[in-house]
A and B are shown apart, each in its own frame.
Chain A
Amino acid sequence: MKDGVNGVALAVFIFFFLAVTVMGFLAARWRKAENEHSLDEWGLGGRSFGTWVTWFLLGGDLYTAYTFVAVPAAIYAAGAAGFFAVPYTILIYPLIFTFLPRLWSVSHKHGYVTTSDFVRGRFGSKGLSLAVALTGILATMPYIALQLVGIQAVLDVMGVGGGENTHWFIKDLPLLIAFGVLAAYTYSSGLRAPALIAFVKDTLIYLVIAVAIIYIPIKLGGFDEIFAKAGDAFAQTNPATDKPRGAVVPPEAGHWTYATLALGSALALFMYPHSITATLSSKSREVIRRNTTILPLYSLMLGLLALLGFMAIAAGINVSNGQLAIPQLFEDMFPDWFAGVAFAAIGIGALVPAAIMSIAAANLFTRNIYKDFLKPDATAEQETKVSKLVSLLVKVGALAFVLTMDKTVAINFQLLGGIWILQTFPALVGGLFTRWFHRWALLAGWAVGMVYGTVAAYGVASPTQKHFGGSNAEIPGLGEIGYIGLTAFVLNVIVTVVLTFVLKAAKAPEGIDETKPEDYTADAGDKGVSVVLPKVGAGH
């Protein structure tokens, strides 16, 4: 790390940060609707976004700053195993092609804002809906915290993070400012703010990746050279484990891990509340299907980005904290001003998902805890007010998390969050296709998956941690090492199916289903599907 503050990079970073701040506040006026005090408006941008806005929004939402820092960091640390992010993001799109349009239709028809809304409506079970909502909130909080970790990494490399001896307040001040600003415009503009800022974020990211993937290999002597050096580095024995540090190509024993991580993560991604929020904000069913064909552009970018991890090794970057590898690579390789652009890309890349995640968590709280359990007669205006406040609380909570606890805690929780959120899959996706599952069986399956996943993750040790050292463990009965989340998911499904048979035989009450088969295929403009925004700009 260079000493002192990188003035030029910092200036460029601040310039972009100010620009998106202004955009964030102005976003409130973007395609403003008449009825602004409803959750549809604040929390779903009026459900008005077309193909391109949805593309930027989903891209900005799913491919977060943390992804940009963590994926190459994983490659930097262990090589091939970290590349599972690419097959993971490949599998997402054919998967959501099948079920997301159905969720969009039924949500539009019945005015659902969250996945828990749907689960409650479909299965007539507030308990199941609460389980889904709590899982969503729990899984989202550490995810928001990790976005802050992403900003912190950039600030550290620019030299404004302060040294170990700096007073904590001075050290964290830049982060506090960034977060205060983010909280303020999310509060005032709702989902419109990240939607608008996502344009800037992605333009910067694409620009940085395009430059990095051409410029850095030329400086380092080509990909042959990069992979040769990386191969040498990975072959060296790690003193902590007595095994090679990593591999350029996964060894036989790692295949199961690689495949289960890719599949499990793909199944989990669209269970996250923030993915669904971005989906439901689109204006039609077609927008979603069309997006499954253009979103993979981001996966390509992610793959290229992952290769930066090898470049960091070849460039001789030596950081104890892998998270800093990529920011440090940019700082060493690029001229200062372009390093500033790259840092801005990562920084803004953290703001967009953090905003959407806090909105999504707030919507869950408002709709499925506040309205269902605390104040059933809440008006639309009260709902919006509560949601806005909770979005602030969620962010403050994430901030406290990052500032008071060790970074590894956030990472551990994020890892658990992925395992947990996957357990809502049977209720949500199962429910979209069939009403066969019994609501109590789904609840029991969820509980089994949650407990198994947590216990199994607790038992994973790594050289640096006794517990929660990773997300892979032996799959019972198979003897292979696989992703805990997927094993828990399989258990969850087995329990759900068996108990459904039992409960049906026992004639347990099924609950009322307020949806009809045709609700799942309805599109905007159909009878009974409210076009929520009366004044939507036509051409976009």
Chain B
Amino acid sequence: MSDAPEVKPPVVTPVRVVIALCLFAPFVAMLWVGSYAKTDPTLIGIPFFYWYQMAWVLISTALTATAYKLWQRDQRARAASKGGAQA
């Protein structure tokens, strides 16, 4: 689940590792059901199981948005270094 390189060299950079982690984290969190299949602590009466997963909607949104911003910056930097040939 890593983001595929769209421009060739160099393929793996620290920024891209961060992007990949941002995109991968929700999979770990959501597929590890044992980590959140419990009732307590409740939030306004809603068991942990439910509010935790709904909280992850927001967390994963923030992570995807971060990945998007980093990706944009990465692409722009690459385009600039190639003389602005690509948008």
Contacts and interface: CB of A to CB of B under 8 A. Distances in A.
B50 A307 contact: yes
A303 B4 CA distance: 31
Given A300-B57, A300-B58, A525-B87, A262 B47 contact: no
B58 A223 contact: no
Nearest to A249: B49
Given A255-B33, A258-B33, A94 B4 contact: no
B30 A87 contact: yes
B31 A259 contact: yes
Given A97-B64, A98-B4, A262-B30, A222 B39 contact: no
Q: Specify the main secondary structure of chain B where it touches its partner.
A: helix
A303 B50 contact: yes
Given A91-B26, A93-B60, A300-B58, A225 B45 contact: yes
A90 interface: yes
Interface residues of B, number: 40
A227 interface: yes
Contact of B7 (A97, A249, A252, A521): A521
Contacts of A250: 33, 37, 49
Q: Specify the main secondary structure of chain A where it touches its partner.
A: helix
A65 B75 CA distance: 39
A248 B60 CA distance: 24
Contacts of A89: 57
Contact of B49 (A83, A300, A520, A523): A83
Q: How large is the interface on A (under 10, 10 to 19, 20 to 34, 35 or more residues)?
A: 35 or more
A227 B43 CA distance: 12
A182 interface: no
Nearest to B39: A249
Contacts of A304: 54
Given A83-B53, A97-B68, A263-B31, A293 B61 contact: yes
Contacts of B61: 93, 293, 296-297
Contact of A520 (B6, B38, B47, B65): B6
A86 B61 CA distance: 13
Nearest to B54: A303
Given A259-B31, A293-B65, A90 B53 contact: yes
Interface of B: 1, 3-4, 6-7, 22-24, 26-27, 30-34, 37-39, 42, 44-47, 49-50, 53-54, 56-58, 60-61, 63-65, 67-68, 71, 86-87
21 contacts: A80-B49, A87-B30, A87-B31, A94-B60, A94-B64, A97-B3, A102-B6, A223-B42, A224-B42, A252-B37, A255-B37, A289-B68, A293-B61, A293-B68, A296-B60, A300-B58, A303-B50, A307-B50, A521-B7, A523-B87, A526-B87
Given A86-B53, A94-B1, A263-B31, 15 more contacts: A86-B54, A93-B64, A94-B63, A227-B42, A249-B47, A252-B37, A259-B31, A296-B58, A296-B60, A296-B61, A299-B57, A307-B50, A433-B4, A520-B6, A521-B86
